[in-house]
A and B are shown apart, each in its own frame.
Chain A
Amino acid sequence: MAAIELAALSKVYPGGVTALDAVDLTIADGEFFALLGPSGCGKTTLLRTIAGLEEATGGAVRIGGDDVTALPPGRRDVAMVFQDYALFPHMSVSDNIAYPLRIKKVAGAERRAKAAETAGALGLGGLLERRPGQLSGGQQQRVALARAMAYRPRAFLLDEPLSNLDARMRLEARTFLKRLQRELRVTCVFVTHDQAEALALADRIAVLDDGRVRQIGTPAEVFRRPANTFVASFIGSTPMNLLDGVVTGDGRVGVGGVPLPAGEHGLPDGERVTFAVRPEYLGYGTEPVPGALPGRVTVVENLGSAQLVTLDGDAGSVQVVVDEDVPVPLGATGYAAPRPERVLLYRRDGELAAPEAPHAGA
Chain B
Amino acid sequence: MTPARAVRVVVRYTFVCAVLGFFTLPLLWLAFAPFDRDPSIAASLPQFTLHNFRELLDNEQALRSLRNSLVLAAGTGGIVVTLAAAAAYALSRVRLPGRDGLLYALLLLSSIVTGTAAMVPLFNLAYELDLIDSQLGVILVLSGGLLPSAIFILKDFTDTTPRSYEESARVFGASPLQIVAHIVVPLIRPGLATIAVWSVAQVWGNFLIPFLLLRSPEKSPAAVVMYTFYTEGGQPDLALISTFSLLYSLPVVVMFLFVSSRYGFRFHGGIKH
Complex CA distance for A80 and B167, rounded to whole angstroms? 9
Contact with B along A56-99 (1 / 0, CB 8 A): 00000000000000001111101110111111111000000001
Task: Indicate which residue in A53, A74, A89, A104 contacts B187 across the interface (CB closer than 8 Å).
Answer: A89
Cα separation A90 to B182 with both chains bound (whole Å): 10
Q: A89-B187, A90-B186, A99-B169 are in contact. Are A84 and B174 (CB under 8 A)?
A: no
Number of A-B pairs, beta carbon distance below 8 Å: 91
Q: Does B22 contact A (CB under 8 A)?
A: no
> Would you call B183 an interface residue if the criterion is a C-beta within 8 Å of the partner chain's C-beta atoms?
yes
Cβ–Cβ < 8 Å partners of B183 in chain A:
88
B193 → chain A closest CB, angstroms:
14
Q: Which residues of chain A are within 8 angstroms of B167 by Cβ–Cβ distance?
A: 53, 73, 80, 82, 86
Taking the nearest CB of chain A, how far is it from the CB of B29, in angstroms? 44
Residue of B nearest to A52 (CB): B171
B269 within 8 A of A: yes
B241-273: CB near A (< 8 Å → 1, else 0) gives 000000000000000000000000001111111
Does residue B173 face the partner (Cβ distance < 8 Å to A)? yes
We find that the number of chain A residues with CB closer than 8 angstroms to chain B is 34
Give A100's nearest chain B residue, CB to CB. B172
Q: Is the CB of B173 within 8 A of A84?
A: no
- In angstroms, Cα B174 to Cα A85, docked, is 17
Q: For the complex, is B124 an interface residue (Cβ under 8 Å from A)?
A: no
Q: Are B178 and A103 in contact (CB under 8 A)?
A: yes
Chain A residue nearest in CB terms to B170: A73
CA distance A83 to B271 in the complex (A): 9
A39 within 8 A of B: no
Contacts of B174 in A (CB 8 A): 74, 103
Bound: A85/B271 CA distance, A: 6
Residues 86-128 of A, flagged 1 when their CB comes within 8 A of B and 0 if not, give 1111100000000110111000000000000000000000000
**Docked CA distance A102–B172 (Å):** 10
On chain B, which size bracket covers the interface? 20 to 34
Does A26 reach chain B (CB closer than 8 Å)?
Answer: no
A73 touching B171 in the complex, CB below 8 Å, given contacts A82-B164, A88-B165, A90-B186: yes
- Among residues 146 to 204 in chain B, which have CB atoms less than 8 Å away from a CB atom of chain A? 162, 164-165, 167-175, 178, 182-183, 186-187, 189
B181 CB, min distance to chain A CBs, angstroms:
11
Whether A74 and B272, one on each chain, are in contact in the complex, defined by CB atoms closer than 8 angstroms, is no
CB neighbours of A140 from chain B (8 A): 270, 272
A84 CB contacts on chain B under 8 angstroms = 162, 164, 271-273
Interface segment, one of A130-138, A285-293, A297-305, A347-355? A130-138
| Cβ contact within 8 Å between B270 and A132 | yes
Question: By CB atoms of chain A within 10 A, which of B173, B187, B268 has the most?
Answer: B173
What's the nearest-Cβ distance from chain B to residue A101, in Å?
9
Do residues B272 and A164 form an inter-chain contact, with CB atoms below 8 A? yes
Q: Which of A13-54 contact B (CB under 8 A)?
A: 51-53
A86 to B179, CA, bound (A): 13
Given contacts A87-B270, A133-B270, contact A53 B170 (CB under 8 A): yes
- Bound-state CA distance A88–B169 (Å) is 9
Contacts of A88 in B (CB 8 A): 165, 168-169, 182-183, 186-187, 270
A75 and B175 alpha carbons, distance in the complex (Å): 11
Complex interface: chain B residues within 8 A of A281 (CB) = none
Chain A residues whose CB sits within 8 angstroms of the CB of B273 once the complex forms: 84
Residue of B nearest to A87 (CB): B270
Contact B270 A99 (CB under 8 A): no
A120 CB to closest chain B CB (Å) equals 21
Q: Which residues of B have CB within 8 Å of A53?
A: 167, 170-171
Q: Which residues of B contact A134 (CB under 8 A)?
A: 269
Q: Does A151 make an interface contact (CB < 8 A)?
A: yes
Contact B268 A133 (CB under 8 A): yes
> Are B164 and A86 within 8 A (Cβ)?
yes
In the complex the two chains form, is A103's CB within 8 Å of B173's CB?
yes
Q: For the complex formed, measure the closest distance between the CB of B112 and the CB atoms of chain A, giving whole angstroms.
A: 37
From B164, B172, B269, B272, give the contact of A103 (CB < 8 A).
B172
CA distance A140 to B270 in the complex (A): 8
Q: Which residues of the partner chain A approach B267 to less than 8 Å between Cβ atoms? A: 89-90, 131, 133
Interface centre among B168, B268, B272 (most CB of A within 10 A): B168
Tell me whether A132 and B172 are in contact (CB under 8 A). no
C-alpha gap A137/B186 in the complex (Å): 23
**Does B269 contact A133, Cβ atoms closer than 8 Å?**
yes
A290 to B178, CA, bound (A): 72
Bound Cα distance A85, B187 (Å): 16
30 contacts between A and B (CB under 8 A): A53-B170, A53-B171, A72-B170, A73-B170, A73-B173, A74-B171, A74-B174, A79-B172, A82-B167, A83-B164, A84-B273, A85-B271, A86-B162, A86-B165, A86-B168, A87-B271, A88-B182, A88-B186, A88-B187, A89-B268, A89-B271, A90-B189, A99-B172, A103-B169, A103-B174, A103-B178, A133-B268, A133-B270, A140-B270, A164-B272
CB-CB nearest 3 A-B residue pairs: A133-B269, A89-B270, A74-B173
Residues of A within 8 A of B (CB): 51-53, 72-76, 78-80, 82-90, 99-100, 102-104, 131-135, 137, 140, 151, 164
Give 13 new A-B contacts, CB below 8 A, not counting A74-B172, A132-B269, A140-B272: A80-B168, A83-B164, A84-B272, A86-B162, A86-B164, A88-B168, A88-B183, A89-B268, A89-B271, A90-B186, A131-B267, A131-B269, A135-B269
